[in-house]
Amino acid sequence: MFSKWQTLFEIFLNVVGILLGFFLSVTLSAILGQTGDWVILSSGILTAFLEICSFFVYNLKKKFNFVENFNKYKEFILIVNFFNNLKIGVFYGFFVEAFKLGS
């Protein structure tokens, strides 16, 4: 059913998504927080991205029957999981930045 390389590719894609999200959050907090001019706009755009990503992850999986049509939606599931891992990395990065500022 699944080959070893497909599973390794999915794990690699998940790890890259989390690390890219962490890098994005650290970069955004360093660059945009430096001047303070774009903080409100960037936080609004970031919140919209995170909410749209959550909508796709948690609502669309309920609408589609992925168990019966798994091979048909395989690429879509990989893309949605990548953006979900990107979202997790962004949250984790901002969490770490908040601890750095608090200490």
Specify the pTM: 0.80
Residue 49: exposed, middle, or buried by beta-carbon count in 10 A (0-12, 13-18, 19+)?
middle
Using alpha carbons only, how large is the chain's radius of gyration in Å? 16
- Tell me the C-alpha distance between 10 and 16, whole Å: 10
Round to whole Å and give the CA distance between 82 and 87. 9
**Predicted confidence band of residue 2 (pLDDT cuts 50, 70, 90):** low
Highest mean pLDDT out of 2-6, 41-45, 65-69: 41-45
> Which of these, 11, 17, 21, lies nearest to 89 by C-alpha position?
21
CB-based contacts of 21, cutoff 8 Å, min separation 6: 85, 86, 87, 88, 89, 90, 91, 92, 93
